[in-house]
Amino acid sequence: MSELSLKVLAAGSLRAVWQPLMTSFTLQSGIEVDTRFGPAGLLRESIEQGERPDLFASANIAHPQRLKALGLASRVEVFTRNRLCLTARKELLAAQPSWLALLGNRALKVGTSTPLADPSGDYTWQLFDTLERHHAGLGEYLQQSSLKLVGGPASQSVPNGELAAAWLIRGGQCDLFVGYASYARRLRLCKDLAVIDIPENYNIQADYAFAQCYEAANPLSDFLLSTAAQEILFREGFARNL
């Protein structure tokens, strides 16, 4: 890449916020950014197999830390955070307004991202582990019965412009979907869907971190930690990196 252009690999859950972030960065620095999105676990594998981005923005810190341990990244830092939420067909709430009752209803299909390939799936499995500790049998049932619908090597691609939870529920692939809370604001605009917050004592914190692979990406790394970037991330449903 030229000194005025950077190659980035970024977690798919950053797609919506990445455009305003990179627009602001380019206006500030004059540096263009070419970004490819995908499940963070699969992107990390592509780097291990020889792909060489300037920076990798991951939906968890474990993947950047692994790259640093392998000598494939020089700088790793958390730049924002996320949480999980539950999305359901709105009519389901009339009979079962509780998120626990919905997850425990064995007549309903629960959709998730794919663990190991996609951090959203990893965080969801952590949520199920927490549920198992509080409600014996529930977490184990969900791990065995949930449908891994997105984020895997063989998963269907979510159409451009679609929100995964809305697309999957409306298409009948699941009745409920466990996904990132950063999508909640846009999902709440869907009149046929309901977004249910997961209480803090059950929820999982998702630490988003970058792996800087080349010195050329230092301005972008610094920008992601800046007040300007943090405000854009917060506006789009992510947490400020305090």
**Per-residue DSSP letters for 170-201?**
HTTS-SEEEEEGGGHHHHTT-TTEEEEEPPTT
The residue written with tokens 């927490």 in the block is 130
Residues 117 and 156 occupy one common structural domain: yes
Domain membership flag for residue 213:
yes
Same-domain check for residues 150 and 97: yes
Quick one: pLDDT at residue 3?
57
In a domain, 179, yes or no: yes
Q: What is the pLDDT of residues 121-143, one digit of tens each?
A: 999 999 999 999 999 999 999 99
Residue 240 lies in a domain: no
Per-residue pLDDT at 107: 95
Are 156 and 89 found together in one domain? yes
CATH classification of the domain holding 28: 3.40.190.10
38 near 87, Cβ under 8 Å? no
Residues 26 and 108 in one domain: no
CA–centroid distance for 211 within its chain: 16
Could you give the C-alpha distances from 17 to 137, 170, 221, in angstroms and in order? 37, 24, 16
**pLDDT value for 105:** 95
Quick check: is 171 in a domain?
Answer: yes
Other beta carbons less than 10 A from residue 201's beta carbon: 7
Rounded to 5 degrees, what are φ and ψ at 6? -120, 145
Residues 47 and 70 in one domain: yes
Residue 116 has pLDDT above 70, yes or no: yes
Q: Is residue 213 within 8 Å of 66, Cβ to Cβ?
A: no
Q: How many domains is the chain built from? A: 2
Q: Are residues 92 and 169 located together in one domain of the fold?
A: yes
Both 35 and 54 in a single domain?
yes
pLDDT at 241 over 80: no
Mean pLDDT in residue range 205-234: 97
d(CA 39, CA 58): 9
Question: Do both 180 and 90 map to the same domain?
Answer: yes
Backbone angles phi and psi of 156, in degrees to 5:
-65, 145
What contacts 139, CB < 8 A, 6 or more positions away?
128, 129, 130, 131, 132, 133
pLDDT digits (tens, 9 = 90+) for 177-195: 999 999 999 999 999 999 9
Q: How far apart are CA 60 and CA 226, in angstroms?
A: 19
What would the pLDDT profile of 3-60 be if each residue is shown by its tens digit? 589 999 999 999 999 999 999 999 999 999 999 999 999 999 999 999 999 999 999 9
- Token pair belonging to 164: 């995964």
* More confidently predicted of 208 and 94: 208
Residues 58 and 145 in one domain: no
Q: Which domain holds residue 229?
A: 5-81+206-235
What pLDDT is attached to residue 2? 43
Residue 55 inside a domain? The answer is yes
> Could you tell me the pLDDT band of residue 96, with boundaries at 50, 70 and 90?
confident
- In DSSP terms, which residues pair with 87 in a beta bridge? 177, 195
Asked if 169 and 127 sit in the same domain, the reply is yes
Q: What is the pLDDT of residue 1?
A: 41
Average of per-residue pLDDT values in the chain: 95
CB-based contacts of 220: which residues, under 8 Å, 6+ apart?
Answer: 6, 8, 25, 29, 31, 33, 54, 55
- Say whether both 148 and 163 belong to one domain: yes
Answer yes or no: is 241 within a domain. Answer: no
Predicted confidence (pLDDT) at residue 242 exceeds the cutoff of 60: yes
**Considering the domain boundaries, does residue 153 fall inside one?**
yes
The verdict on residue 37 lying in a domain is yes
Together in a domain, 119 and 27: no
